[in-house]
């Protein structure tokens, strides 16, 4: 039986968990698919990890996939192996972005100064290694509040959310991770941004199964004359979101595979 006390208890728990001004980021996170086809963009949070990130990069390279890596400054600071991984990401055509310095909940930090430090120190540390601008940003836990919106606007940083979250970082289960992703992709009707974590062994194990399923699903779709699931390349998305006329400029002034993601990132709106 539902009681008044039970209802009040429920809402007290909800209010204790979420900031009063919290609200979700708009979806689809990367905008609509231009032609309505199913598209998937791979994004990875919380890295780099010298133990697992190289395996993720190897898998992406084998399948010619360019992803977005949302990096933590604390994993890079003073870590030569991690710095080399950032250089490899850029060299292989991936896009990198800021995920703060210490992965704090920016809406719950006691002072605004602490939130500012987490954003700015993350930016400075990553840029110090990568030597490129980082206009894309993802809040830890995906939190959103007036403070975050204002601080990002002041820094001309653009929040990049996600659509699919298997939460593999939390449960660590391979079957659950793969089942969720292929289930969502199987019924998707447009562009999907997938959130994964390159610091987790379960992610390394899940990626080959996910990519194999996409290949098999596309073979089935080809037989039935359906449009395939298209893997959206991160630099292509960045180019798509450039202000009108700057895409051609970026291509003209950029030389070399390593420079392209950085140049695109540095002029994103």
Q: What is the pLDDT of residue 260?
A: 52
Q: What is the pLDDT of residue 121?
A: 98
Q: Is 38 left (phi over 0), alpha (psi -120 to 50) or beta?
A: beta
| Predicted structure pTM score | 0.85
Catalytic residue among 99, 161, 197, 198: 197
User: Has 252 been annotated as catalytic?
Assistant: no
- HSE (CB half, 13 Å, CA atoms) of 110? 0
Q: Is 1 helix (H, G, I), strand (E, B) or coil?
A: coil
Task: Count CB-CB contacts under 10 A for residue 13.
Answer: 10
Q: What is the pLDDT of residue 16?
A: 34
Catalytic residue among 37, 45, 99, 252: 45
Residue 266, token pair as written in the block: 């540095």
Would you say the C-alpha torsion 7, 8, 13, 19 has a positive or negative sign? Answer: positive
What string of pLDDT tens digits covers the 269 residues of the chain? 444 444 333 333 333 333 434 469 999 999 999 888 999 999 999 999 999 999 999 999 999 999 999 999 999 999 999 999 999 999 999 999 999 999 999 999 999 999 999 999 999 999 999 999 998 999 999 999 999 999 999 999 999 999 999 999 999 999 999 999 999 999 999 999 999 999 999 999 999 999 999 999 999 999 999 999 999 999 999 888 755 544 444 444 343 444 555 555 544 54
Residue 172, token pair as written in the block: 């660590």
Query: Are 118 and 106 in contact, with CB atoms under 8 Å apart?
Result: yes
CATH 3.40.50.970 for domain 23-264: no
User: Has 63 been annotated as catalytic?
Assistant: no
Domain boundaries defined on the chain: 23-264
- Whole-angstrom distance, CA of residue 70 vs CA of residue 130: 13
DSSP, res 101: S
- Whole-angstrom distance, CA of residue 160 vs CA of residue 137: 6
Query: Are 162 and 43 in contact, with CB atoms under 8 Å apart?
Result: yes
Q: What share of the chain is helix, strand, coil (3-state, %, to 5)?
A: 50, 10, 40
């Amino acid at each position: 039986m539902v009681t008044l006390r039970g209802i009040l208890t429920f809402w007290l728990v909800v209010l204790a968990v979420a900031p009063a001004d919290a609200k979700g980021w708009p979806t689809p996170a990367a905008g609509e698919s231009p032609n309505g086809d199913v598209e998937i963009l791979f994004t990875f949070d919380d890295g780099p990890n010298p133990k697992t990130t190289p395996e993720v990069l190897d898998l992406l390279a084998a399948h010619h996939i360019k992803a977005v890596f949302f990096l933590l400054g604390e994993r890079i600071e003073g870590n030569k192996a991690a710095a080399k991984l950032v250089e490899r990401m850029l060299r292989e055509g991936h896009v990198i972005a800021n995920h703060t310095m210490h992965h704090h909940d920016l809406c719950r930090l006691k002072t605004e100064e602490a939130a500012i430090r987490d954003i700015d120190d993350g930016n400075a540390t990553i840029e110090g290694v990568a030597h490129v601008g980082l206009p894309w940003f993802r809040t830890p836990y995906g939190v959103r509040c007036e403070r975050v919106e204002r601080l990002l606007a002041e820094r001309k940083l653009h929040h990049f959310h996600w659509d699919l979250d298997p939460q593999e970082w939390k449960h660590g289960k391979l079957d659950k991770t793969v089942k969720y992703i292929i289930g969502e992709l199987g019924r998707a009707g447009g562009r999907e941004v997938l959130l994964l974590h390159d610091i987790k062994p379960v992610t390394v194990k899940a990626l080959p199964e996910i990519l194999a399923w996409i290949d098999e699903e596309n073979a089935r779709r080809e037989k039935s004359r359906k449009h395939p699931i298209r893997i959206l390349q991160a630099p292509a998305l960045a180019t798509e979101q450039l202000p009108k006329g700057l895409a051609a400029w970026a291509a003209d002034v950029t030389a070399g595979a390593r420079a392209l993601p950085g140049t695109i990132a540095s002029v994103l709106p």
